[in-house]
Chain A
Amino acid sequence: MSDLAQTADGRVTATSVTSPPIWYQGLVASVFWLLTAAVTWGLPDVIPWGSAGLFAAITAAGGIALLTLGLTRYRLGGLGDRIAVWGPWLIALGVWFLLWEFTTAKTGWLPKPFFSPPHGLLQVYVADWSRLLVCIGYSLRLWGLGFFSGISLGFVIGVALGWSHRFNYWGMPILKLIGPVPATAWIPATFFFFPTTFHASIFLVALSCGIPVAIQTAAGVSQVNRAYYDVARTLGANERFLVLKVAVPASLNHVFVGLFMGLYYSFAVLVVAEMLGAKYGLGWYIAFQSAYSAYANVYATIVIMAVLCSGIVKLLFVARDRLLLWQERGLI
């Protein structure tokens, strides 16, 4: 800011020496966060939601932290720089909380039960955290079992389809025929064929992510530059080496395309499967709560899902960047 206020002829202006630099975005954000706290605490709820005090305390703490950051950001070095990137977002978040709080709990313009103020969601976490934790555990277990068995099988099938002509001859038409069918279409049949709905749900999640992985892997393996095989064969590679050390790494890029597609499908199928036949789980929780018009609980669960799913997506990105390091652009 003003520490850089140097005129063209080299004279440093007087203010740059005396006033410490201030991060104005942080100050603006802190104003909105503190305003949110004041509105939440000061104005009464039209219909009581609970946890208003807690939300006010959280936003007030956030406001104070932002105020401190506004004054110290330039003394924090790299950490300060990293926080400052989010300045506009922190302001927007403050404005959003303020409007949200005001239009729902404080004025009732957006009425209960279809709308919930932020502290309404907070109240859900405070009151129902143990059941939500159980549901998260159940969902992760179902998703994990389905996703990892699905992608493992899909990957193996994909390699076989891409590698073996005979397997491709019989397998590819079947895969092309059933591949585009949404996994959810199988729900009635699977609930009949599997001993429990849990097993059926695992199968559906596995199916949803296994098919794109199989298709992409097969495409990747069959598109590998034949020259790599020639080189490896002259160097003494057997078939096992050609598959595992040439075909698979050469097609890993395609495999990850399939994994990302499969990941998104698996989330969709997970929630639907839980809504239909599970005893616990986030999908079940949403279906259960919306039956009682408890929309605050539904929104609160959607927030959890958003965090979980985007976290898993992020993990897959990290794994991909690690495994495909060799593709990175640019010189050393």
Chain B
Amino acid sequence: MSVLAATDGTTRALSLDIRSVSHHYDIAGTRFDVLDDISLSVAPGEFVALLGPSGCGKSTLLRLAAGLEAPRRGVLLEDGDQIVTPDPSRLLVFQDPTLFPWRTVRKNIATGLEARGLLPQKAHRIDEALSLVRLEDFADAYPRQLSGGMAQRVALARALVNDPGLLLLDEPFGKLDSLTRLSLQNELLKLWQTTGFTALLVTHDVEEALLLANRVVVLSDRPARILAEFNIVADYPRHRDDPDFIRLRREILHELGVQNV
């Protein structure tokens, strides 16, 4: 499992600093505030989950961190440097796998290396990434031939082959069936433990956040503000029937305004 980290050693976990970031969109002349003065520091190697109601602006925060958009107010820093453009050191995995349908699994995974002209030196990394997500037998398949879980594993491999220091995960398992979701959560956990990247996971699944993260940040409804932060110190693998787990789950749901569960 540790092939990625072992062979290259280029993975260097990055810190992410979000400083007083506010953001809004103008849609058809109406202003929509999505983020309201968010400040958050993610330490290198930390796994932080952003938890909040649907449509609260969590995904926008990830787009800002990826450098796909610039915030209207505030700054985002990667290891102290301001984030202004997308960079393969910070990779985004979407809710939809968004694989390129005209590329085979192998070529999808190769996209990042190819775009940066690293394919000649690092071609062997693709096979390693394929075995990392257990898709060696599907290297030459096209995305239409994959199940939802397989496609999302390809999306993970496509990101990880670039040795990102920061992995931004936008509800990556949101569209999968519950069994596939459980197994992929475990895989993600193993990948994080072995590879050592910093992870920022957006989700609205409280259990997912509690199973995976070191820290859970609860966001309010739109425009998103930080309501509360919970440090999760339990060892991995975590279990849903653990008393602490149940207590935290109740507290977080309470913060989200859901009671009597």
Contacts and interface: CB of A to CB of B under 8 A. Distances in A.
Q: Which of A233, A236, A245, A328 has the most CB of B within 10 A?
A: A236
B245 interface: no
Nearest to B164: A234
Interface residues of A, number: 25
Contact of A228 (B98, B115, B141, B159): B98
Interface stretch (A101-109, A200-208, A246-254, A293-301): A246-254
B142 interface: yes
B138 to A, nearest CB: 9
Contact of A236 (B63, B87, B94, B100): B87
Given A235-B158, A237-B111, 16 more contacts: A227-B98, A228-B98, A230-B98, A231-B94, A231-B100, A231-B111, A234-B66, A234-B68, A234-B92, A238-B115, A246-B100, A249-B100, A326-B101, A326-B102, A327-B101, A329-B144
Contacts of B116: 236
Interface in A230-276: 230-238, 241, 245-246, 249-250, 252
Contacts of B158: 235
A228 B94 CA distance: 11
A331 to B, nearest CB: 6
A241 B141 CA distance: 23
B115 A232 contact: yes
A305 to B, nearest CB: 35
B91 A234 contact: yes
B149 interface: no
B149 to A, nearest CB: 15
A306 interface: no
22 contacts: A227-B98, A228-B98, A228-B100, A230-B94, A231-B92, A231-B98, A231-B100, A231-B111, A233-B68, A235-B115, A235-B162, A236-B88, A236-B115, A236-B116, A237-B111, A237-B115, A249-B102, A249-B103, A252-B102, A327-B101, A331-B145, A332-B141
B68 A227 contact: no
B96 interface: yes
A43 to B, nearest CB: 61
A248 B63 CA distance: 25
Contacts, number: 75
Contacts of A252: 102
Contacts of B114: 241, 245
A234 B66 CA distance: 7
Contacts of B96: 227
B86 interface: yes
B98 A234 contact: no
Contacts of A331: 145
A227 B94 contact: yes
Interface in B83-126: 86-88, 90-92, 94, 96, 98, 100-104, 111-112, 114-116
Contacts of B103: 249, 326
Contacts of B92: 230-231, 234
A245 B101 CA distance: 12
Contacts of B143: 326
Contacts of B111: 231-232, 235, 237, 245
6 nearest A-B residue pairs (beta carbon): A235-B112, A237-B115, A236-B88, A249-B102, A236-B116, A234-B86
Contacts of A249: 100, 102-103
B84 to A, nearest CB: 13
Contacts of A228: 98, 100
A227 B68 CA distance: 11
Contacts of B86: 233-234, 236
B47 to A, nearest CB: 20
A246 B94 CA distance: 18
A250 B102 contact: yes
Contacts of A232: 111, 115
Contacts of B88: 234-236
A250 B158 CA distance: 18
Contacts of A241: 114-115
